[in-house]
Amino acid sequence: MRLRNKPWAEEFINSHPEIIIPTPENYKGKWNEAFGNNNPLHIEVGTGKGQFVTGMAQANPEINYIGIELYDSVIVSALEKVIAANTPPNLRLLKVNGADLAKYFTKNDVSRVYLNFSDPWPKTRHAKRRLTHEGFLKLYESILIDNGEIHFKTDNRGLFEFSLISMSEYGMLLKFVSLNLHADEPKDNIMTEYEEKFSAKGQPIYRLESQFIS
Ligand code: SAM
């Protein structure tokens, strides 16, 4: 994602602590307190400009959502989107690194992890940075409920192939695989910004759902 310098971003982020939680470590093991209910929590790692997580929160009020994004200059667009959607009460954002999830969540905090159009890191020496690398799978398993799920969409065939192997070697159950999501698009599919961009160019979108086995 191209990063533009946005000097106003930090102030805008800090002025909305009700959406971008400033001290998420305080909610580790008790996210129900942040939302005021015991509904399941789904997180998206690498949420980008927030269209997916905002749309999901609006469509599924009985589920809590957290969008996680590393960069100020990107998360401000997600923040604008959340505000434009009248700040759904079941949605929060975190400006943190997905590699640090264990600082903010513990076992059973999360019911599902969404990964959408994650950075492919095509060089073999960068494989560990891919969000579906074994190291990240271990991390997700450590914060998910038993039999928790990962739902993953990408336009990148290499990353998709890598992810299928990585999850399979990890011992996960593959519950759904599509090599062309939009050829038979489920009615409830909520598109991400990248998904709109790539599918408009006629590129196939790959999707999988996988489950940890306890
Ligand atoms: N999910 C969005 C979509 O489909 O439109 C954005 C896709 S973009 C290619 C990947 C996003 O993931 C970028 O905004 C990037 O900053 C974010 N990202 C990459 N690594 C991350 C990490 N370790 N933790 C949090 N966000 C990350």
Dihedral sign (CA 149, 108, 76, 74)? negative
Query: pLDDT for 100-145, tens place per residue?
Result: 999 999 999 999 999 999 999 999 999 999 999 999 999 999 999 9
Judge whether 119 counts as a catalytic residue: yes
Q: Which domain holds residue 186?
A: 116-214
Mean residue pLDDT of the chain comes to 96
Same-domain pairing of 123 and 99: no
Q: Is 46 in the pocket of ligand 1 (CB under 6 A)?
A: yes
For the cut 80, the answer to whether the pLDDT of residue 2 exceeds it is no
For the cut 60, the answer to whether the pLDDT of residue 44 exceeds it is yes
Among candidate residues 56, 72, 106, the one where a domain is terminated: 106
Report field, pTM of the whole predicted structure over 0.90: yes
**1 falls within a domain:** no
CA 129 / ligand 1 centre spacing (Å) = 12
**78 falls within a domain:** yes
Query: pLDDT for 146-203, tens place per residue?
Result: 999 999 999 999 999 999 999 999 999 999 999 999 998 778 999 999 999 999 999 9
CA 29 / ligand 1 centre spacing (Å) = 25
Return d(Cα 162, Cα 129) in angstroms, integer: 12
For the cut 60, the answer to whether the pLDDT of residue 98 exceeds it is yes
Looking at the structure of the chain, the number of domains it has is 2
Same-domain pairing of 209 and 120: yes
Residue nearest to atom 18 of ligand 1 (CA): 46
Same-domain pairing of 102 and 187: no
Phi-psi region of 121 (alpha: psi -120 to 50; beta: other; left: phi over 0): left
> Looking at this predicted complex, what is its ipTM?
0.99
Among candidate residues 67, 84, 106, the one where a domain is terminated: 106
CATH of the domain at 172: 3.40.50.150
Reported as a pLDDT band with limits 50, 70 and 90, residue 4 is low
Q: Is 212 in the pocket of ligand 1 (CB under 6 A)?
A: no
Pick from 10, 29, 13, 21: nearest CA to 103: 29
